[in-house]
Structure 1
Amino acid sequence: MHSTYDVVIVGGGHNGLVSAAYLAGAGLSVLVLERLGHTGGAAVSARAFPGVEARLSRYSYLVSLLPRRIVDELGLKIELRRRRISSYTPVVREGRPGGLLVDRVDPARTAASFRELTGGDAEFAAWNEFYGMTGRLAERIFPALTEPLPTREELRRRVDDPVAWEELFERPLGEAVERRFADDVVRGVVLTDALIGTFTHAHDPSLAQNRCFLYHVIGGGTGDWDVPVGGMGAVTDALAGAALASGAELLTGCEVTALDPGREVSEVAYRTADGTERRVGARWVLCNAAPTELDRLLGRPAPAEPVIGAQLKVNMLLRRLPRLRDRSVAAHEAFAGTFHIAESYRELEHAYREAAAGRVPVPGPSEIYCHSLADPSILGPSLVEQGFHTLTLFGLHQPAGLFATDPERVRAEALEAVLAPLRACLDEPLEDCLALDGDGRPCLEAKTPLDLEADLRLPGGNIFHRELAFPWTADPAADRWGVATSHPRVLLCGAGAIRGGGVSGIPGHNAAMAVLGR
């Protein structure tokens, strides 16, 4: 180890590893300090259930925003598998189970499903028009995420679509959804991308929902969400390998405890797993932790407005996929894409209002997907042979404050609120399908925002570290890459940077470019 490095990176999550690989590859001395006993942060695979050979993507689970450019430039050996089924939404109308199936490969099948649901072709035509618009937006915006930040006007010119700009950047998304779509279920399916990890509603004047929606529909220039083969841990393992191969040093079990920024060299204090206190100098410090964590390391007071996370993550292992009440679609297709539950437009609004009033929303809106249908490699051979599968459920509108006073009671209440509407879609008890772990317990775990805060230091359990921002800057001279802090040699390289958010590596790339550019 050196006493001073060109760059010290606080946190070994995927973005920190991207920064390390780029900077070490450019010849800089780089040290990554990770509090946990492993790298990867929230983007890891884990054996969640004792005695069972299944490695689940325990926290983050799909990939959309990781640019091919980063994969190629770092030489990452990863595979992202495209899902044919985009989504399935079970619906009961006039007492008859049915559903809306969106098949990416067979538009005629999707059109027939829309027709069966809505009684005509207008809603499918509106769907194609709207997502044609977001597709063109994705093609124009996504490549810019690894370029210097544009100004608002520069981005508007790049979008070059007055209608798209008005609907997605100027006015609450709910206005466009209500103007374009008539069916309550279709409206809800569209709106869900604006609410993943974001506690807000369709008509929020702050446009928090618009910013969340934007990052969910531009990934890869297409908006597709892909399955990482081998689980999310395969992605971060590849990144850690790239960082090490480039010459970076990665230290796990080392918690950064303080940061003293200097004009030329900053001092980073950290504690090793055995309790030893150490210090190291750095010409640059890149923070892969949340901005509130950076404030704490700098000795600043906590912000007056707390950061809020708002999701319930449920991991399950099943002995088999359950039978559906809707016999028009096979379970292996319904669960292959995003399975929407209690996510109609009215249900989403009701759930938000209930949670905002301090009550667990019932029914709890959620969406589910089955990783093992696209990638059985996360299961042991015997489990694959027996037909086992994983299910990942992501519950919306479950803000951290709900769990503050009685976390275990509310965890059980919130879990039942999301599982009850799932059970209502099934033609057999969910419990009959759940696998048992080595101790005979059902293979089911629920992670609340408080768990994410405790396990991963995500403030309020917020998966984006803080509220998402539109991808532009008011002052390119002050923040050319969207990673600046109040200290010129201390930069954000994690999800809390502008153009941060989900598993992307983009802020890690951009922080590295900011260092190399100076």
Structure 2
Amino acid sequence: MPAHTAYDAVIVGGGHNGLVAAAYLARAGRSVLVLERLGDTGGAAVSGRPFAGLDARLSRYSYLVSLLPPKIVSELGLRFTVRRRTVSSYTPSGNGGLLVGAGRTRDSFAALTGSGREYAAWEDFYGMTGRVARRVFPTLTEPLPTREELRARVDDDTAWRSLFEEPIGVAIEDRFHHDLVRGVVLTDALIGTFADAHDPSLVQNRCFLHHVIGGGTGDWDVPVGGMGALTDELARAAREAGAEIVTGHEAVRIETDGAHAEVTFRTAESEGTVTARQVLVNASPQTLAALLGDPPPAPAEGAQLKVNMVLSRLPRLRDRSVDARDAFAGTFHVAESYGQLATAYREAAEGRPPSAPPSEIYCHTLTDPSILGPELAERGCHTLTLFGLHTPARLFADDHDTVRTQLLAATLAELDDRLA
């Protein structure tokens, strides 16, 4: 139970954003209480051991670090380590494929496309996103700029039009001609986002921007020890600053008169209340509406499934020119050409599981083997994480187990076609 009945600030939800807020408020001298429903903090950035008898600590949801500003790391005195991946992605094609990274990108483009045109377009496009990243990423720790202020900061009319005003599909189709190359670019706009390349809402553009601005470079780093190691460190920083964190405490109601708020919480044994001058909610808009007794907004549709695996060895590739350690060190694309992504979206939008489910596979242990216990490490085991795209929750509404089996079978069949 909380140590007090009144606080300057109560934070509902102990995810990474809630923990950062708790640490800053406590460092500013405020009394802070964090109410976390689950038994551990971390929210969607946690690690766990999902396989009984296997000492493998896997990142359950979020798995890479890109959007954590160094300013926060420095100011909160966070002690954790990240490692840079040497490979960005590998996308198989027939008996070959496209490897981005490991110093082989130019040659891989030439072997795939037979010319230097696509590689030149790639360099130009990601040179543009890099310039945008360097200008936009610092705004994450600044007051939110207006649209015109951000446009002036970007200071590039072509980049602004391509990334902020037009559907990302326009820029991709204008700049690239190879179907597989187009698909590799588009994937960063679709991870967890159920949308077409030309969706007029531009939700795919927002997803793409979040993928390419991280750190001011667009690089995605591997947290040593898994994501839980990072959020455990955030919890430590918050507690050491003076914040009180209680787990197993679910906030169920917030009532306010405009000056103060009363937060009702529930535990397995009892119910209680605390008052606060301010309440921060580190949860979904639907949860916030329920806490306030307001009508819930329409939920954003989830569109991704995730499967964690522990393997005795890495799969062998049909492409003999690429070592499996390179292919799986970055993002391994399956059925993600531009045409395949469009087909999968159309099928899912019509209520059918994609016939060739697009997916991505990543091996954490190639960059950070510390998440494996000594026995698994000595046996040469590896973790693989598969992300399935264009799998909206409504596909599972009628017969969850059957649809899940169909999707996984189709995904594995597509993957098997790329392996030796």
TM-score, with structure 1 as normaliser: 0.80
Aligned to 1:218: 213
Instruction: Give 1:322 deviation, angstroms.
Output: 1.1
**Counterpart mapping for 1:244-283 below 5 A:** 244-274=239-269, 276-283=270-277
1:360 to 345, 353, 358: 353
In the alignment, structure 1 residue 289 sits paired with structure 2 residue 283? yes
Aligned to 1:164: 159
- 1:102-157 Cα shifts (integer Å, max 9, x gaps): 11x52xx2111000000000000000000000000000000011100111000000
**Counterpart mapping for 1:89-488 below 5 A:** 89-92=91-94, 97-103=95-101, 106=103, 109-274=104-269, 276-303=270-297, 305-427=298-420
> Retained in 1: the 8 A contact 2:286–2:299?
no
Instruction: Give 1:207 deviation, angstroms.
Output: 0.8
Secondary structure, counterpart of 1:350 in structure 2 = helix
Aligned to 1:478: none
Secondary structure, counterpart of 1:19 in structure 2 = helix
- 1:389-421 Cα shifts (integer Å, max 9, x gaps): 000111110001111111111111122222221
- 1:194-230 Cα shifts (integer Å, max 9, x gaps): 0011100111111111111111100000001111000
Secondary structure, counterpart of 1:391 in structure 2 = strand
Paired residues in the alignment total 418
> Retained in 1: the 8 A contact 2:222–2:364?
yes
Query: Whole-Å Cα distance in 1 between the matches of residues 60 and 362 of structure 2?
Result: 13
Secondary structure, counterpart of 1:244 in structure 2 = helix
Secondary structure, counterpart of 2:61 in structure 1 = coil
Aligned to 1:2: 4
Query: What letter is aligned with 1:185?
Result: L
Query: What letter is aligned with 1:7?
Result: A
Secondary structure, counterpart of 2:38 in structure 1 = coil
Query: What letter is aligned with 1:40?
Result: G
Secondary structure, counterpart of 1:31 in structure 2 = strand
> Retained in 1: the 8 A contact 2:285–2:296?
no
Secondary structure, counterpart of 1:409 in structure 2 = helix
Instruction: Give 1:424 deviation, angstroms.
Output: 1.2
- 1:346-381 Cα shifts (integer Å, max 9, x gaps): 000000000000011021001111000000000011
Aligned to 1:86: 88
- 1:14-64 Cα shifts (integer Å, max 9, x gaps): 111000001001110000000001111111110010000100001111111
Aligned to 2:52: 50
Question: How much identity, in percent, do the aligned residues show?
Answer: 68
Secondary structure, counterpart of 2:199 in structure 1 = coil
Following TM superposition, the consecutive aligned residue runs of length 4 or more in structure 1 with deviations greater than 6 angstroms are: none
Query: What letter is aligned with 1:100?
Result: L
Structure 2: unaligned runs, 5 residues or longer: none
Query: Whole-Å Cα distance in 2 between the matches of residues 423 and 281 of structure 1?
Result: 57
Query: What letter is aligned with 1:186?
Result: V
Secondary structure, counterpart of 1:354 in structure 2 = helix
Query: Whole-Å Cα distance in 2 between the matches of residues 27 and 52 of structure 1?
Result: 43
Secondary structure, counterpart of 1:199 in structure 2 = coil
Structure 1: unaligned runs, 5 residues or longer: 428-518
Secondary structure, counterpart of 1:32 in structure 2 = strand
Secondary structure, counterpart of 1:129 in structure 2 = helix
Query: Whole-Å Cα distance in 1 between the matches of residues 388 and 195 of structure 2?
Result: 14
Name the Cα RMSD after superposition.
0.8
Instruction: Give 1:273 deviation, angstroms.
Output: 2.4
Aligned to 1:21: 23
Query: Whole-Å Cα distance in 2 between the matches of residues 402 and 10 of structure 1?
Result: 31
Aligned to 1:36: 38
Instruction: Give 1:306 deviation, angstroms.
Output: 3.5
Query: Whole-Å Cα distance in 2 between the matches of residues 404 and 242 of structure 1?
Result: 41
